[in-house]
Amino acid sequence: MTSGKARRWRRAVLIVLGSIVVVAVLLDRVFPLRLPGPDGISSVVVARDGTPLRAFADSDGVWRQQVTAAQVSPLYLDALLTYEDRWFRWHPGVNPWALLRGAAGGLWRGHVVSGGSTLTMQVARSIHPIPHTVAGKIVQIFRAMQLEAHLSKAQILDLYLTHAPYGGPIQGVEAASWAYLGKPSSRLSHAEAALLAVLPQSPSRLRPDRHAAAAREARDKVLRRMRDLGRWSDAEVRDAAIEPVVARSLRSPLDAALLAERLHQRDPDARRIVTTVDAPLQRAIEDRVSDYLSRLPSHTSAAVLVVDNATMEARVYVGTAAFADPLRYGHVDMVRAQRSPGSTLKPFLYGLALDDDLIGSGSLLVDAPQDFGGYRPGNFDEAFHGPVSVADALQSSLNVPAVDVLDHVGANRFVARLAAGGVDLRLPDGAQPNLSVILGGASARLEELVGAYSAFANRGVAAPPRFTTTDPYQPRHLLSPGAAWIVRDILASNPAAVEGAPLEGSVSASAPLAWKTGTSYGYRDAWAMGVTDDWTIGVWIGRPDGTPSPGQYGAVTSLPLLFAVNGMLPVTHAGTRATQPVDVGKVDICWPLGGTVADTPPAQCRQRHASWILGKTVPPTFAERGITAWASGRIVLHIDDKGRRLSGGCGPVGARTVTVARWPALATPWLSTDDLAASALPPLAAGCAPDSLDAASPIRIAGVADGVTLRKPPNAAEPLHVTVNALGTVDDVQWLLDGRLQGASAGAKPIQIALPLPGDHQITAVAQNGPFARITLHVLGPR
């Protein structure tokens, strides 16, 4: 070739190449490359280890998780690049030999069988809708070359890993690995890597959940190719070929579904939300809750929240018993629903009273009918127990003692302290804090209660639960370390039993559980709260629509589930308890006055009780309401030589002085004969003027004689009734049958009391300031 012809040839080649470049640039401008944006990536909420809990599909209903080559298994990348596109690292987006092979196959069979597509071409088809035609193949080639011009090989590979089709709504290897195999793409075996490498070739035909045999055949073909090309050893391929093709039923994950929905709503633009949830524990407890609720009425739901005390991170979040089940209101998240807390607030009240030096754990309280300015609380079982310690009152969840303590603490102050600790009680519209809040006369959330109960494991410091790794830790002072320790000790020392049988796990020595139950008015909410060194657990059971569930209450319904959940949790502080604070001490105190045994004369120390106290303060027994003469419980009397009481200005010169320790008047119906005698006031000496010490004058029951025997008439449908009235008082009188409240009467007005069962019965009348009378009846069955 002459030099002139060579120059013309080079010029023509340059013109052609230049024209191609110009045309390519023009086409690139006219038909710009549209890369998928973040909106094309599904939002996924994952557990702390990366396990997807719930995926939220994009606007097209596709579940797709973004992933890079650095995040997937090297085995998968090896199988993909070896089997699908060995020349990926070097070709410009198109492999001419593969295209010729595909064209020859199409001419031979009359239709496109193998398009000879490179990974880049497959990415082009994944991100742009391109028909499976010859014209479509040309467009696909153009788009592949655009991708190679604009992106690096690493970027193109990442697009493939995220957008490759895997059947149904699943795109990308990470979503496919979780959907079919239940594991991340970073942990694939040889067999699993080969399966996921070949599946995009024909995702509908090779879906392992539907066509396991076809999927296995395709997988084994990849395995043989990897062996023949020397990528994997004979032993590796032989072992991989033995592995069966086992795929889960294709579904989007739905663990901690309501938590995921909550976090997705909080940050809808986030593509990946990392929670604090422990995935295996979450699934296990969800299954346990579902099994437990299957024994309860169909419309019952449940919520369980488990928090790590060290970090306040939620490890388990069960917002419903059955997600999306309309019968169980599965769309309602009961972890954050406003519900009446029942008696679950009582531990905080006693803790605050301890901090105020109002009580010790052994202090005397009175469980008897009382009137608090028109508010007359009763107990859950409608029975009263008379003199009780603070510890007994809390463990038995007695209502009257709790209201009594709240009356001393102050309802406004109690509600404000709870709010500072993270429990924002919601009162009825227009209502102000009152004594009913301690019995559930307000509403709170399970997550608030769990955050507050963590204070019993964290030296009095509460904090809201954390649901994501980015949620801040927000500690809040609720109680002193000493008060928190004493209350927890009381709750942990309470044996748990249902119908007399100890609950499974309730006697665990490795992780003693401090627990408290609660039931709202009308059996609408059954609660059980628990604290160990490691965990704070909250359980709620009820109907989300607020319908009562008679017979379902905390100690019977929620407490067994609480202990079951606690038994499933790991123990990291085995056999330990929170260290006893230095300001907590134990002393022996005397009832009825409340002072220490060392400081109380033996005659005034009717009963001895051990009591935890804070500092060196030993709180005395509460002063009685409405009685000023012996408000302190200790009365100093002047008596004559016959032991008769002398009032002011009365009596001989040689009168002596004695001190009487008086029990609270409302406790007297439950006292022994000896305690009553020791507390009784001597009679006034003749000629002495009456004094105020007789304010609590005795009363008498009329209508039925003491010790009488009664018989129910034969064939009577109604139970036997007696009509009684109280003489000697104009105050309101509370009537009890065998310790259970039956009703009230005004002064001497009569009241009718039913005697339903044969046997011995006691009828007790208690007047407002403590005077009481009691009679015993014997009831016979009909002849």
Euclidean distance between CA atoms 210 and 201, whole angstroms: 16
Residue listed under structure tokens 């594991």:
183
Write the CB contacts of 213 (distance below 8 Å, at least 6 apart in sequence). none
**Is 665 strand, coil or helix?**
helix
User: What is the side-by-side order of every strand in the sheet holding 700-702?
Assistant: 700-702, 720-727, 751-755
Given 343, 389, 397, 520, the catalytic residue:
343
Euclidean distance between CA atoms 549 and 299, whole angstroms: 10
Q: Which tokens belong to 598?
A: 């060392």
Radius of gyration from C-alpha coordinates of the chain: 40
Euclidean distance between CA atoms 44 and 65, whole angstroms: 7
Q: Judge whether 343 counts as a catalytic residue.
A: yes
The DSSP letter of residue 466 is B
Is 637:645 a contact under the CB 8 Å cutoff?
yes
Residue listed under structure tokens 């909106």:
39
CA distances from residue 99 to 85, 105, 157, 160 in whole angstroms, order as listed: 12, 10, 20, 20
Is 774:669 a contact under the CB 8 Å cutoff?
yes
Rama region for 42: left / alpha / beta (φ>0; ψ in -120 to 50; rest)? beta
Euclidean distance between CA atoms 544 and 533, whole angstroms: 31
Burial of 624 (0-12, 13-18, 19+ CB in 10 A): buried
Count of all residues that appear for the chain in the document: 783
Write the CB contacts of 370 (distance below 8 Å, at least 6 apart in sequence). 376, 377, 400, 403, 404, 625, 666
**Is 562 strand, coil or helix?**
helix
Euclidean distance between CA atoms 232 and 79, whole angstroms: 9
The DSSP letter of residue 622 is P
Count of alpha carbons within 13 angstroms of residue 477, beta-carbon side: 4
Given 42, 84, 363, 558, the catalytic residue:
84
Euclidean distance between CA atoms 570 and 280, whole angstroms: 12
**Is 486 strand, coil or helix?**
helix
The DSSP letter of residue 654 is T
Name the residue among 255, 322, 258 with its Cα closest to residue 293.
322
H or E stretch including 196? helix 190-198
CA distances from residue 649 to 642, 689, 690, 691, 755 in whole angstroms, order as listed: 18, 9, 12, 11, 51
Write the CB contacts of 732 (distance below 8 Å, at least 6 apart in sequence). 371, 744, 745, 746, 747, 767, 768
**Residue type (1 letter), 612:** W
Euclidean distance between CA atoms 605 and 160, whole angstroms: 85
Euclidean distance between CA atoms 123 and 198, whole angstroms: 15
CB atoms inside a 10 Å sphere around CB 326: 9
Euclidean distance between CA atoms 368 and 734, whole angstroms: 9
Euclidean distance between CA atoms 714 and 712, whole angstroms: 6
Nearest-10 crossing angle of helices 134-150, 153-163: 130
CB atoms inside a 10 Å sphere around CB 614: 22
Q: Judge whether 84 counts as a catalytic residue.
A: yes
The residues annotated as belonging to the active site are 84, 343
